[in-house]
Amino acid sequence: MKKASFLILLFLVVFFLEGIFNNAQAQSGWVRDKKSAYLQLSYSYFASDNFYNLSGNKLTTNTFSQHSIHFYGEYGLLDRLTIIASVPLFRANQFKNTDSAIGVGDLMLQLKYALLKGKFPLAIIIAPEFPTAKADNFATNKESIFVDRINLPTGDGEFNLWTMLAVSHSFGDVPLYISAHAGYNFRTKYQEEEFNDQVRYGLELGYNIAQKLTLNTHLNGFATVGNQPLTGDFIRSNGTSYNSYSIGAFYKLTEKLRLTGQVQGYFDGLNERKNLYSAPVFTLGLAWEKK
């Protein structure tokens, strides 16, 4: 039965939220119990012709789309230490008039350590991201009479390091939880292009609406540190900023299997949308948990 569950998890095409520029999953202050595990496979789809350039101006372009199958896994290595791996196993980027640039994405490892446990668990996360994707991956224009290619890599081509703090609280009698996080991304460079560092922060609210069903919502901010770069392609997200929201649900299929679904959108406000294709990201997923 365990093997069957695992195989189902691996082979089902499932959907789970994974914004194309948002490599870090939602963060909480809880760490896993020692030797417990959580695995998730997800599929997300995104298509947009609304591009916000580095100045924040909205352009209408040919439609850009992305398909992604993403693996996410947590394991309780120690009582206070959880290791996490997150990687797009498959990603396909294309414009409507090009073929697809296909490949794996960048692997992110996370070490999550519980600074505080109890009513207000607080965790620190150190998360290096490795450029496991091809730094350059060209799609060919199918309509051009010349050889016309565009670089749509499935990763950003650089090593970077996220550090994050996350705190959570469960309201006990009321089946409600809240989490908040803030993080800083130390970025390096790709070839001659130096990347600006980035910050992100967010809130998550979850409510166990029925015995098997939990609803949650996120509100996140994402911003570039320092002077706004004047040039840079969207796929490497240098100079990218946005606010995002999401609405999602978790449904317990069995004691160990959960079906998840979520939709994420972007909006202006504190962080104006810049260097970003903006449209809803639709995701469904299947998760397996061993306590």
Partner 1 sequence: MKKLMFLSISILFLFAFTACNDDDTEVIVDSSLPQGTFTSAKSGTFAAQNDTPTAGMAQLGTDSEGVNFLRFTPTFTTALATGTVTVYFSKSATLMFNPGNGNPNIRIVGTVTQNGERFFKLNTAVPADFTHVILWCASAGIPFGNAPLN
Q: Which residues bind partner 1 (CB under 8 A)?
A: 51, 53-55, 59, 61-62, 64, 95, 97-98, 138-139, 141, 143-151, 193, 230-231, 233, 235
3-class SS at 203? strand
Nearest to partner 1 of 102, 219 (CB atom): 102
Q: What's the CA gap between 65 and 177, in Å, rounded? A: 34
CB of residue 65 to partner 1, shortest distance in Å? 12
Nearest to partner 1 of 52, 288 (CB atom): 52
Q: What's the CA gap between 127 and 130, in Å, rounded? A: 10
Nearest to partner 1 of 95, 222 (CB atom): 95
CB of residue 30 to partner 1, shortest distance in Å? 41
Cβ atoms of residues 259 and 251 within 8 Å:
yes
Picking from 265, 286, 285, 284, the residue whose alpha carbon sits closest to that of residue 276 is 265
CB of residue 40 to partner 1, shortest distance in Å? 32
What type of residue is 139?
A
What type of residue is 225?
V
Picking from 2, 1, 8, 47, the residue whose alpha carbon sits closest to that of residue 259 is 8
Cβ atoms of residues 168 and 29 within 8 Å:
yes
Q: 137 is written with which tokens?
A: 């991956």
CB of residue 109 to partner 1, shortest distance in Å? 28
Nearest to partner 1 of 51, 288 (CB atom): 51
CB of residue 46 to partner 1, shortest distance in Å? 16
Nearest to partner 1 of 151, 217 (CB atom): 151
Cβ atoms of residues 89 and 69 within 8 Å:
yes
